[in-house]
Amino acid sequence: MPPRDKRMTEDEVVSQLESGMTIGIGGWGSRRKPMSMVRAIARSSLTDLTLVSYGGPDVGLLCALGKVKKVVYSFVSLDSIPLEPHFRKAREAGAVEVEEYDEGMLLLGLQAAAWRVPFLPTRVGLGTDLLALNPDLRTVQSPYPDPVPDEFEEYEELIAMPALRLDAALVHMNRGDAHGNGQYLGVDPYFDDLYLCAAERRFMSVEQVVPTDDLASLGPLQTLRVNRLMVDGVVEAPGGAAFTACPPDYERDEELQARYAAAARDDDAWAAFVAEWVQG
């Protein structure tokens, strides 16, 4: 008996999301972002979203279209264009709230949620303004004595990075089957499996849906990073990460990305870009 078929469309994914949700978006910068699902959100009536992302055009697009209440972030970049211009514009207009973290703290927050612990301890953030900027961020004292004897205090005070629990997670993989097993074929898995494990509702788009039995022959076994315990819905979306990079299937569409970025400076160009690339 084969397991159930989880295939659905981007619009069916959106129908399972609600305004006000906290949504984690996989990929990294302008790399392997689940843009076909992000564009479906952009076309929807969803609003007041909180995004958790190693941010790229996913964050910029949804901020520019007024879908976002808050961004939980460490950076938002288009890689070849280091600062995401739409996110920058929203920030400088005070149009979105932010919760800022070091990029390693985002990893710990997702990992804590995935492991269902309330926090993970870290040195990261100590001595910086993160504690002042995030009044909800707490420290915790180690119950164990300092392993390195010196003239300082005996029990280290560490940051307690809170679990970043997600209502939903969206990721894009190179290959997958109809049941939610997923495979990345590029050089980096990024944090996609962690986003899925940190979320209540989990959606994965793939370049191509293949029979389960094909997956192991398409790449080294280590590329089978996502299993069906982590996924509720599978979207077959060829080109679904464009214009971000999705090697080996395709590189970043730098020309399209440059047009997207330049449109941040010109309302007419932005309207035309949205009509063509988001609504179209």
Partner 1 sequence: MADARRADVCAVALAEVFRGDGEILANPIGNLPMIGGRLARESFEPDLVMTDGEALLVQNPMPVGVDDPPKVIEAWNPYRAMFDIVWSGRRHIVMGPVQLDRRGNANIAWIGDDAQRPKVQMLGFRGGPGNTISHATSYWVPNHSPRVFVEKVDVVVGVGYDRAAELGSVARDHAIPAVVTNLAVLDFDNDERSMRLRSVHPGVTVDDVVAATGFALDVPDDVGESRLPTDAELALLDQIDPSGLRFGEVPDP
Give the interface with partner 1 as residue ranges (CB under 8 A): 28, 54, 73-77, 82-83, 87-88, 91-94, 97-98, 100-105, 107, 122-130, 133, 146, 148, 150-153, 156-158, 187-191
Of the pair 47, 74, the CB lying nearest partner 1 is at 74
Minimal distance, residue 213 CB to partner 1, in Å: 27
Cβ-contact 102, 79 below 8 angstroms: no
Please, which residues have CB within 8 angstroms of residue 17's CB and are 6 or more apart in sequence? 23, 41, 44, 46, 167, 168, 201
Minimal distance, residue 227 CB to partner 1, in Å: 18
- CA–CA gap between residue 205 and residue 223 (Å, rounded): 16
81 sits in the region (left: phi over 0; alpha: psi -120 to 50; else beta) called beta
Please state, in angstroms and as integers, the Cα–Cα distance from residue 236 to each residue in 10, 62, 73, 182, 240, following that order.
9, 22, 28, 11, 8
Residue 69, helix vs strand vs coil: strand
Minimal distance, residue 247 CB to partner 1, in Å: 11
Which spans in the chain are helix H? 10-15, 35-43, 57-64, 85-92, 103-115, 130-133, 192-197, 212-215, 254-262, 267-273
Minimal distance, residue 171 CB to partner 1, in Å: 14
Of the pair 194, 234, the CB lying nearest partner 1 is at 194
Place of tokens 């399209």: 256
Instruction: For residue 50, give the DSSP letter.
Output: E
Of the pair 98, 218, the CB lying nearest partner 1 is at 98
Place of tokens 């899925």: 196
Of the pair 8, 98, the CB lying nearest partner 1 is at 98
Minimal distance, residue 235 CB to partner 1, in Å: 24
Minimal distance, residue 259 CB to partner 1, in Å: 21
Of the pair 87, 277, the CB lying nearest partner 1 is at 87
Of the pair 14, 246, the CB lying nearest partner 1 is at 246
Minimal distance, residue 187 CB to partner 1, in Å: 4
- CA–CA gap between residue 81 and residue 34 (Å, rounded): 19
Of the pair 40, 110, the CB lying nearest partner 1 is at 110
Please state, in angstroms and as integers, the Cα–Cα distance from residue 248 to each residue in 94, 155, 252, following that order.
38, 48, 11
